[in-house]
Each structure stands twice: as C-alpha cells, then as structure tokens.
Amino acid sequence: HCLEKAHSIETWQGDRLVGGLYGIVMGRVFFGESMFTRISDASKVAFVTLVRQLSEWDFAMIDCQVTTWHLLRFGAKEIPRSSFLERLKKLIDSPSKAPTGKWRSFCPEM
C-alpha cells in the first residue's frame, strides 16, 4: 500500500461499505487478491467497475487466481501456466495509462 501498488475497489451504499475487492498492480496486470460482499452482488459491482476502468487504462490482464462461475460469466478465461508466465513477462514492465499514486473514485454515485 505504501508503494501505491495495492488498490481497493469498493462498493458503498450510503456510508456503509457493502462489498469490494483489492489487488496489486504491476505494469499492465492487476492481480486480484480477495473479494468480499455484505449484500448480494456488491463485489460483482466492484469487479465490473474495475474491469471497465482497467480497459480504459490499457491493462491487458487481470489475474483472478481461481476460476469461478461468476468470473467466467464476466469473461474470465483460464489459460495454461506457460501462457500466463509468457504474457506476464511482457506485461509487468509495460506501462499502463493508470494514474500513478492512489486511485481516486472513478465511478459516479449510483
């Protein structure tokens, strides 16, 4: 977090944190670490928001770590480890268009 590589994507309902996820950024890859939800689909809202924003910032890959049905329905694809490592070598040193430092709100209130 102090190196500004760890980021949380949060879903709020009023002043209550109801879901979200966090992960680490290296180059054009977001490594998802954990998701949580207190109400139905709150973490999914955070994930979809993240995917849209990362696309605008020219990210090339999200490492979801574990294949789940809900990630597959959002377009996740499992790839062989050798392909993952090959892509990773190219992408972690490739700059994205994400702002440096702390990420601020990139989704209007709904």
Domain that holds residue 73: 6-91
Distances, alpha carbon 94 to alpha carbons 28, 34, 53, 68, in Å: 6, 24, 17, 28
- The whole-number pLDDT of residue 75 equals 85
Is 22 contained in some domain?
Answer: yes
Is 25 contained in some domain?
Answer: yes
Give the integer Cα–Cα distance in Å for 78 and 95: 24
Domain count, the chain: 1
For Cα atoms 34, 4, 88, give the angle at the middle one, nearest 5 degrees: 65
**pLDDT tens digits for 77-104?**
999 999 999 999 999 999 888 887 777 7
CATH number of the domain at 68, please: 3.40.630.70
Is 107 contained in some domain?
Answer: no
Is 34 contained in some domain?
Answer: yes
**pLDDT tens digits for 36-83?**
999 999 998 999 899 999 999 999 999 988 888 878 888 889 999 999
Confirm if 26 and 50 have CB atoms less than 8 A apart.
Answer: no
Is 28 contained in some domain?
Answer: yes
Phi, psi angles (nearest 5°) of residue 25: -110, 130
Is 31 contained in some domain?
Answer: yes
